[in-house]
Structure formats: structure tokens, C-alpha cells
Structure 1
């Protein structure tokens, strides 16, 4: 079966075989070596020298871990121009005061709106880099640049961009970045990755959920362990998926996505179809997802 969805993606045969290995003890040196390999390679995917924590849970678990652990803020700005931006707003609302900038799905973020909110007292901003629901790539670098003027924390959801497009966390000035195993990384669903800069810890809130407290993951990472029992087969699969990325080369992988995505957009436009995102000078089409408006005479059910 060909999965024409953002994720989970079809798995490489090597990843499937790796996942089917016999179990090992998760407190052994063997597991620590696997975790170390995943850790150092995920740092390359995220473009960071900071720590990367691996949580057994969906990408949403990673989002909640990041927002809850770094919710010691006066007010958090959430930027929402699609389903997953809205999810960030819903999560943040459970942990701190929130100012939500909401756009119609597919519309581009206006940087003046971001500037106004940050100048009005928001000291953290959270947004989606690659909005899965609409196929739009939001201007991460520009948002982070504005946040830097106000010494604001920057949290970025890169669940459908990490591994398939450029994510330059340190260079762009992003403090916390989240991704998941089942999208561009090419592993099964069930693991979340949270990359954290040293600066982010000044916003740490110890009153966060027990299982999602990133301080616990930070402490255990000193020994390349996880604080709680990990999904061992998924770590086997992740290790192999990251080996495949290493062999292909991250740059080559990103360019492969770019070529294929451009071809799909070209086909859609030549077929008289309309792309969903409404771009401005700062946004662009996603490198990993193509969102096309369904023609009026066809229902969603008929298309499926």
C-alpha cells in the first residue's frame, strides 16, 4: 500500500527488519549505545549543539513536553494558521497565559502581528514551521529574529519538516524544536524528539506533567538512558532510519524532497488545480507536503 499522507510513511525494509529484533534490557550498555547514536544524529537533523530528548509517545507528547516544561512565562504567543497551530494554542492554554494570533487556514503569517504581540508583553512564542494541514512553510527565521529583540523564548513544531527540509535551530535562534519519528525521519510512529538549547532552561517550570518533565530526560541523558521504560523496538527502528539518512546525506535527502514536491506542484497547476496555501513574501510552499484545493464538484469522500 502506498501511503499518500504526511505520515506515518511507508517504511524502508531495513527499518522493518530492525524493529523485529529480540528485546534488550533498556538499562544496558547496548541500549545506551543505540540512544547515543540516535542523539548525535538527531542533533544534525535539528541543526543544534543542544540536547535532544527522545520521548516514547506521539509528536503531540513532544509538543506538550516542550510547552509545559518551558511555561514559566508571563504570556505565551501562539501563531495559528492551520490545524496544528491551533493544537499548539490548545496545549499552551492549559499551562500559562496565552495570546493566540489566528488566521484562516492556509493564510500566511503577518510578521507585524508577531511584532505587535511580543512588544505588548508576550515573552514566548510557539509556532508550526511546516503546517501539515495546509502545506505552507512558515517563516521560522524571521519569527525568531523578531523574538530575539524582546528576549522571548521560541518554540517550534518541526514535526513535518525535520529530516525533509532545512531546520537550522541554532543558526535561526530557535530555543526548542519538536519533531516525530513517523514523518520525514522514516521510522514508525511512537517517538517524539525535543531539541533544547541551554537558554531555554531559564523558562523551566517544574510544575509540569511527571512523564513529560524534560528535566528528568536531561538528567538521565547524562548516562544515555531514558527516565522511564522506552519503546525499545521503536529505538531499533529509529537507529536504522537515521543510518539511512546518514548514508543518503541530509542535504541530498532535502533536495530529493524538493525535486519531488516541485514536480507534484507543477503537475497540479498544469491539471488546472489550485494549491491551498496563500503565500506572502515571507512564506513558501512546504518542501514535504503538497496541499491542493479539492475541486468543487468532487467531495472529500469521492476523492478518497
Structure 2
């Protein structure tokens, strides 16, 4: 629609029409079979998204609620190793510090986490490791497989924030040894904001703490989820659940392999445009880190301000993200998650290219053509 902005952010993302329609229906009984069927169907698809056979529960709360539930139920009073290389790793650290004895393993935002330091913390008795898989603040994909292997070697629980990777990139929670994995509804799942899903391993259930929060008590979710039909322990956000169920039905129709391939193709097209523009990607990588496949973080060119770049793009009806905290004005970020495809990517890149040129960036090549070559391959 002409009056609707195109959100090319690292969440929230555009919500498909089918999902919006699903939320507009009359209220239903959240203790009845219709809600239970929607919940069960959602869990079935979410297991594919997580790459897990473990139990999955849906919480009425944002991805941060899922993060807090993971730490509060399994990490209270325990020694926790928390690698940080971006804003959301820092958020997970702060949650860990609230509930346990957390050690920060800090790297510059957008640089590799220190696996040796993680191993050292585990050798010194850490009972849990927390990590953000896809750090959207810096556009870097962190090494979940390697961290999971370290955690298992030392018999520690591994809590992985998959808020912006689950449903859009490869996530193999069981193979990677993830004990608690989290996703947010408004990211790669292309559903409305306000829900989180948590996958929990049997190892984690064996170590659940006694002093748990009330609303985020995952044992309560497990008890209610074992009923037939499935229920939540407290009144859920029913319209959001129905929207999520529809978005997951779309994922099932597309297939996870095709969905992952589409996300990777979209992000590859954005990176091709960045290269053609003569700009630099923000993250610094090593052999086990990679560029995010759901958001691309780009260094702001010299002489171009954030307001000039993103302001111009916004006037054209498209929103992209800037940097957060100390990265404000230093980077810009283009989301490629959810239901986006070639038209949205090309429109966004055309707007950014125009904004770069009008803002005075030097020697801006044809990134749109470069991206089109990737999308048409």
C-alpha cells in the first residue's frame, strides 16, 4: 500500500496479509480446542525452525522475555560465562548478572568472541554459557556449534539467543548442543511483535532451579503444555498467537531449506550492493564467525551523516536501521529477514544508493545492478 512504510529493519518486519487477517477474527476461548490446535501446530513448525526434538513453549512477551526465562529458570545462583560482541550479547549478560554470578567475556562490537576465554571460564567452573547467535547490532553470526561443543565438554548448559536467526538461517539446536534456545516473533518468523518461543532440552529440565519467577516459570509452561489440548499457564495474547500460527503455516509451505536459501540470497544481494558502492561491511570475521544472513551492517562513508542517509531513505517510504549506542552515526543496517524477496531488496537498495549519492558519498557504484545479478542468478 502506498501509505505503508516498507520496514527493512532487523525487526520488526513486514507482516504478510494472511497473518494480519488471522489476527482480525473474533475472540476465541484460550482454554478451548481451537486455541490448543493452533498452539500445537505452531510448536510443530517451531521445532523445525529450531532444529530440535525438544519441547517448545510460547510466551506472551518479547524476545527479551524469552532470554530472561532461559536464565531465570536455569541459571539463578550459578556461575555463568557470557561472551559479548554486540548490544544483545550485552543485554543477555545483564540478565545473567541479575540472576547469577556472570563473567563478561567482552570483545569489540562486531569482532569475534574469544573462544579461548569461554573455555577458560568453563574450566574455572562456569555452569552455563549464554550467547547471541546472530548479533544484529553488528551484523555478525557467532559460532554456536563451537560454543556448544565447549559447553558440553565441561557439562555446562548452553543458552542461545536465536531471536534473529531462528526461522531465517540454519539453526541446529540439537546438533549444536543448545540446551535453551529462544526466538522472537517479529523477526525471521514474520509475525507481530509480542511473543517469544523457548526450546528446552532434557538436560536443562534436570537442572531447573527451585527459585523461579512466577510469570516466566517454564515449569508452569511445561505443565500446561502437557495438557490436551495444549494450554498456556496464564492468559495468552490470543490474536498474536493466531497471527504466529499463520506465519508458521507460511513457513511450513515454503519449507525451511528454501526459506534459509532465500534469506541467504537476499543478504548476498545486499552485500554485493555494498561492495559495488565501495563501502565496507562492519564486522571483522575469523574462520568460525560469518556475516549475518538476516541483517547487513555497513560502515557509514566519510562525510555522510546518519540523518542524511536514513532520512532520505525514509522520505521514500522505506526504513532501515542505524547504529545503536556507541555505533550511532557510524554504521547503517539493512534487514533482510522475514517474508522479503527481490522487489523489497531492490527497492531498498535503490533508495540507499540514491541517498548515498545525494549525501555526497564518493565514487558510489551501481549496487542495484550488482544485487540484481545475484538475485537473477
Per the shorter chain, which TM-score range?
over 0.9
Unaligned runs of 5+ in 1: none
How far off its partner does 1:296 sit?
2.7
CA apart distance, 1:213: 0.8
Q: How far apart are the structure 2 equivalents of 1:74 and 1:58?
A: 24
Distance 2:42 2:172 in 1: 18
Preserved CA contact (<8 Å) 2:81 2:103: yes
Out of 264, 273, 279, the residue aligned to residue 267 of structure 1 is 273
Q: Match of 1:252?
A: 258
Q: Which of residues 272, 279, 294 in structure 1 aligns to 2:285?
A: 279
Deviation string, structure 1 residues 62-81 (Cα, Å, up to 9, x no partner): 10011100014530011100
Give the distance between the partners of 2:95 and 2:114, measured in 1 at CA. 22
2:321 aligned residue = none
- Asked if structure 2 preserves the Cα contact closer than 8 Å seen for 1:74 and 1:121, the reply is no
Partners of 1:75 and 1:202 lie apart in 2 by: 17
- The aligned length equals 304
Q: Does 1:219 align with 2:223?
A: yes
Report the counterpart of residue 237 of structure 2 in structure 1.
Answer: 231
Structure 2: runs of 5 or more not aligned: 311-377
Q: Deviations over 1:228-265 (max 9, x none)?
A: 00000011101110111011111001000111100110
TM-score, with length taken from structure 2: 0.79
* 2:45 is aligned with 1:41: yes
SS at match of 2:295: coil
Tell me how far apart the structure 1 counterparts of residues 168 and 200 of structure 2 sit (CA, whole Å).
20
- String of CA shifts for 1:95-132, please: whole Å, max 9, x gaps: 11111101111011122121111111111100000001
Match of 1:119 in 2: 123
SS at match of 2:28: coil
Alignment counterpart, residue 288 of structure 1, candidates 294, 297, 308: 294
Larger relative CO (CA 8 A, sep 6+): 1 or 2? 1
Describe how 1:131-170 pairs up with structure 2 within 5 A. 131-170=135-174
| Distance apart, 1:171 and its partner CA | 0.9
Aligned to 1:206: 210
Answer yes or no: is the 8 Å Cα contact 1:73–1:124 preserved in 2: no
- Structure with larger Rg: 2
1:43-192 correspondence to structure 2 within 5 Å: 43-72=47-76, 74-192=78-196
Determine the C-alpha separation between the residues in 1 that align with 2:164 and 2:76.
27
